[in-house]
Amino acid sequence: MSDAHSLDALIQALRRLPGVGVKSAQRIAFHLLQHDRAAAQSLSRALSDAAVNVRHCERCHTFTESAVCDTCLDEKRDQSILCVVETPADQSALERTGAYMGLYFVLMGKLSPLDGIGPNDLGLKKLFDRACDGEVQEVILATNFTAEGEATAHVISEGLKARGVKATRLARGVPVGSELEYVDLGTIAHALVDRR
């Protein structure tokens, strides 16, 4: 492949994607060039369009192409509840449940001291200002139930408590459709404590 410079460049560029090593990059490049050049061209356009057009909503930080996203502009949504999530994918999962009609604040990350991501990088100041705007009555902390997600929820809940804003956390418990035998012990312990 020594004299196909654009092929080598393509493999190098693919390797910068998360989770793509040199073998996957070769396989993807081979597939696109051999079987699907139309997909290569459309991915090329999609990448450049998205890199130029997608920005962050001024109110909730999620990805949008307008100054303020449709969700934040939707007057039918409950303006008094704010749900804090880590990523737009988490927001999208909550939306798909159809069970939440409030607004969002998307952190676009989580506290991660090892990666040098502190409260300022997540825009927590902006979140606290918003929570204190008089309209928000409750902040639901829906960060992930991982060590970093829990730490993030803890820091935010402390900050909200200091400002006198009510903070709640998604319930922990046994997932729907699961058999107790296969559920991890920490989850069962939480489900016992939070029984209703």
Residues that bind its own copies (CB under 8 A): 1-7, 9-10, 12-14, 16-19, 24, 26-34, 36-37, 39-54, 62-66, 69-71, 87-89, 91-92, 108-109
CB of 41 to its own copies, least distance (A): 5
- Give the nearer residue to its own copies in terms of CB position, either 51 or 185: 51
- By beta-carbon proximity to its own copies, the closer residue of 28 and 139 is 28
156: burial class by Cβ within 10 Å (0-12, 13-18, 19+)?
buried
CB 194 to its own copies: min, Å: 28
Coil, strand or helix: which one is 139? strand
Rank residues 57 and 81 by Cβ distance to its own copies and give the closer one.
Answer: 57
What is the DSSP annotation of 51-109? HHH-EE-TTT--EESSSS-HHHH-TTSEEEEEEEESSHHHHHHHHHHT---EEEEE-SS
Residues 6+ apart with CB under 8 A from 151: 110, 111
The one-letter amino acid code at 115 reads: D
DSSP string, 168-196: EEPPP-PPTT--GGGS-HHHHHHHHHT--
Q: How far is the CB of 71 from its own copies (least distance, A)?
A: 7
Which of residues 16 and 76 has its CB atom nearest to its own copies in the complex? 16
| Cβ 173 to its own copies shortest distance, Å | 24
Q: Which is nearer to its own copies, 65 or 158 (CB)?
A: 65
- Least Å distance between CB 111 and its own copies? 16
**Cα separation, 136 vs 166, whole angstroms:** 9
DSSP 114: G
Least separation, in Å, of the C-beta of 121 and its own copies? 11
Nearest to 167 by CA among 175, 158, 176: 158
Helix (H) or strand (E) holding 141, with range, is strand 138-141
Q: Which is nearer to its own copies, 18 or 98 (CB)?
A: 18
